[in-house]
Amino acid sequence: MTTQMIREVAQESAAQRIDSALAAVEQTMLNVVKSDVEVLRDASTHILAAGGKRVRPRLMMLMYLALGGEDIAYAAAPAAAIELMHTASVVHDDINDHGIMRRGRPSVNAIWGRTFALLTGDFLFTSVYQLMAPYKDLNIMLARAATALVEGETLQAHAVKTNTFTREAYARIISLKTAALFQSAGEIGARLANATPEQIEAAATYAFNIGMAFQIVDDILDIVGDEAKLGKTAGIDIEQGRGFVVANSDASSNPADIVDNIKQKLMSGDYLQEARQQAEAFVNMAIACLDALPPSPYRDELIALAELVVKRDH
């Protein structure tokens, strides 16, 4: 075989390995939500089967493989736990925000109502807890990220309510509600692979930066995105005073006016342009961290994932 051919074979086998890893994560999630209680099983399966980008478990598995990890079954449980944690927060979010669409389907809230949505979110939380219970040290990391997530969501709700959604508040909120869980995905992937302390640090920083970029792009898409592609109600963040920051002096006494003002100002380009640049800066910092990893098709995929985060349209 020529060098080119060998490379192609290696890439193909890497692609298969990534597919197997993500299939294992998917199966683990579906297994853990197989409750005897019909409502919990149905509602959990509904939201899981709707898909989603699976960017967190993908990042974790790629990091694990890129750092030499080989036991996919062992790594699948923490990766599944991270995605379930995200899913739990999404289900509870949709209660608080009255979101009726999620991942291109009616939300759990919309189908089963508020009481069962609340309990389904709780059930997904306790499923995370069950999955992670055997992973002592890694569990401490995910537990911290879970608390950060709830703290970020709370700060966001509070900033909206008190009209104190400043630029600094935005940065703190997204680092807690999104980047902390991403960071734990990177760090756990690296630790599971018995990486060196330098590599673990690089993996955590890569993932944190990806998380920051991911949330900024999410907030941009909430404004300019195509609802059909997003699979969820667009503009909801802005309508509820979240997402990007606009000067409080814009506030009018008419809520419809306020939203229109904000939208117009954001759509005018300056704000979005700045946000896009910020996201790109985070992605560049993330990619630079990957120098600490040996070259491999998995590392290439981590670079591709970083680039996709800013290029995605949903």
Site of interaction with a copy of itself (CB under 8 A) = 35-40, 89, 92, 95-96, 114-116, 118-119, 121-123, 125-130, 132-134, 136, 139-140, 142-144, 146-147, 149-151, 153-155, 157-158
Min dist. Cβ of residue 38 to a copy of itself (A): 8
- Residue whose CB is less far from a copy of itself, 130 or 273: 130
- Residue whose CB is less far from a copy of itself, 169 or 272: 169
Per the CB < 8 A criterion, the answer to whether 29 and 84 are in contact is yes
Q: How far apart are CA 53 and CA 33, in angstroms?
A: 19
Tokens read off for 244: 């990007």
- Residue whose CB is less far from a copy of itself, 7 or 144: 144
Distance in Å from the first CA to the final CA of the chain:
40
Least Cα distance to 188 among 304, 297, 80, 296 occurs for 80
Q: How far apart are CA 259 and CA 5, in angstroms?
A: 56
Per the CB < 8 A criterion, the answer to whether 245 and 166 are in contact is yes
Min dist. Cβ of residue 62 to a copy of itself (A): 25
State the DSSP code for 248.
Answer: G
Per the CB < 8 A criterion, the answer to whether 158 and 172 are in contact is no
- Residue whose CB is less far from a copy of itself, 7 or 114: 114
- Residue whose CB is less far from a copy of itself, 65 or 128: 128
Min dist. Cβ of residue 112 to a copy of itself (A): 10
Min dist. Cβ of residue 305 to a copy of itself (A): 27
Q: Can you tell me whether residue 105 is helix, strand or coil?
A: strand
- Residue whose CB is less far from a copy of itself, 122 or 307: 122
Q: How far apart are CA 39 and CA 111, in angstroms?
A: 11
- Residue whose CB is less far from a copy of itself, 41 or 105: 41
Min dist. Cβ of residue 147 to a copy of itself (A): 4
Nearby residues of 84 by Cβ (< 8 Å), 6 or more positions away: 29, 32, 33, 124, 127, 128, 131
Tokens read off for 266: 């954001």
Match 């909801």 to its residue by tokens: 236
Min dist. Cβ of residue 177 to a copy of itself (A): 11
Min dist. Cβ of residue 92 to a copy of itself (A): 6
Least Cα distance to 97 among 87, 105, 88, 107 occurs for 107
